[in-house]
Amino acid sequence: MPLTLDQLRRYAVARSLFKPTTLLRAIGKLGFVQADPIRAPARAQDLTLRHRVAGYRAGELERRYPRLPLEEDFFVNYGFLPRERQALMHPRQARVAWTPARWKQAHAVRGFIAERGVAHPREVDAHFAHGKTTNWFGGSSNASTQLLDGMHYRGLLRVARREGGTRVYAVREDATPVGEQEIEGRLDALVDLIVGKYAPLPAASLAQLVGYLGNGVPQWKDACRPALQRARQRLHCARVDGVDWLWPADERADSRRWKPAEQVRLLTPFDPVVWDRRRFELLWGWSYRFEAYTPAAKRRLGYYALPLLWREHVIGWGNLSVKDGVLDAQLRYVAGRPPKEAAFRIALEEELERMRVFLGVEG
């Protein structure tokens, strides 16, 4: 029997929203967890993990991070990934070459951090007085902050922990140079990491994501296209309603084991279930937009609209906030009204109660 869009939809939801497990196992299964600083009502990494980690609470990843074999780094976007997978991208060579003077600064800062063990950016700035510079948003930021960012990206430093959301750095050991014969294997593993997190993927979305991978491994950017071609040869592929879809070769998208839970879930805009907007529209038939950076007057869904999943269907969205210690949920529906069935009303209240527990607030 030909594969159907309904089967793909159930597969996409059930494989990603697996049975809750431990924090480390959940991140291992996901492969990578995207981070975002906005709290509405919590950070994206926490909103992603609360569905997949038993008893998870907001901020738990940041609290436990220093004791876990995880790293913050840039992959196809910025976030958290197991240390052994982060190592696949290093030693990283940035596209923008530093001047000898900049490298001299970097080595001096690295020596300072090595002596201290860990260092907060303000300690580096106070010691070296690097001054101010213009950041990407046109505002002023400490030059030492930009230097530390560049050192972290190049693999000279690692994030040891965070204090109030600010990265505190430690020295990262120098990575072993990669031989030409190793590059293909590393890129294949990184592409498989992408597929494992976001499958099933339209072919165009996989090509786009492999393009983003060039930002994580700029030193191998020219080798990413051949890696995409190799992936297409080893992955499952099927044409459904005129679109080519790809997923891991060891999984059957039409298996009866893919049964989404009878639950309502409010997902972060960065959740792997909804992250790819092309896939979102193909699976659910409407256009979702992330509007945090859209002028308020032009927003259709809201500042930080959380897609609302019921079983395997995204039927609306919610804007959640905490006011005076109480959760406020403003929900909207694509059909203009919520489903009439009693099972939905019960499941929705259960999800809102899970959110209250996760945030540590009242109803």
138 within a domain of the structure (yes/no)? yes
Closest residue by Cα to residue 265 from 18, 34, 27: 18
330 within a domain of the structure (yes/no)? yes
Q: Domain residues for 122? A: 92-171
Quick check: pTM over 0.75?
yes
What local confidence, expressed as pLDDT, does residue 125 receive? 86
78 within a domain of the structure (yes/no)? no
What local confidence, expressed as pLDDT, does residue 136 receive? 43
Concatenate the DSSP letters of all residues of 8-64 into one string.
HHHHHHHHHSPPPB-HHHHHHHHS-EE-----SSS-HHHHHHTTTBTT--TTHHHHH
What local confidence, expressed as pLDDT, does residue 143 receive? 72
What local confidence, expressed as pLDDT, does residue 134 receive? 57
Boundary of a domain, candidates 152, 171, 190: 171
DSSP 273: T
Boundary of a domain, candidates 171, 186, 205: 171
Cα–Cα dist 339/20, whole Å? 26
What local confidence, expressed as pLDDT, does residue 1 receive? 80
What local confidence, expressed as pLDDT, does residue 66 receive? 97
Q: Is the peptide bond before 226 cis (omega within 30 degrees of 0)?
A: no
What local confidence, expressed as pLDDT, does residue 137 receive? 38
Number of domains the chain contains: 2
Cα–Cα dist 117/193, whole Å? 32
What local confidence, expressed as pLDDT, does residue 363 receive? 62
Boundary of a domain, candidates 146, 171, 196: 171
335 within a domain of the structure (yes/no)? yes
181 within a domain of the structure (yes/no)? no
77 within a domain of the structure (yes/no)? no
pLDDT tens sequence for the chain (363 residues): 899 999 999 999 999 999 999 999 999 999 999 999 999 999 999 999 999 999 999 999 999 999 999 999 999 999 999 999 999 999 999 999 999 999 999 999 999 999 999 999 999 988 887 666 655 434 556 778 889 999 999 999 999 999 989 999 999 999 999 998 899 999 999 999 999 999 999 999 999 999 999 999 999 999 999 999 999 999 999 999 999 999 999 999 999 999 999 999 999 999 999 999 999 999 999 999 999 999 999 999 999 999 999 999 999 999 999 999 999 999 999 999 999 999 999 999 999 999 999 999 976
What CATH number corresponds to the domain at position 96? 1.10.10.10
271 within a domain of the structure (yes/no)? yes
34 within a domain of the structure (yes/no)? no
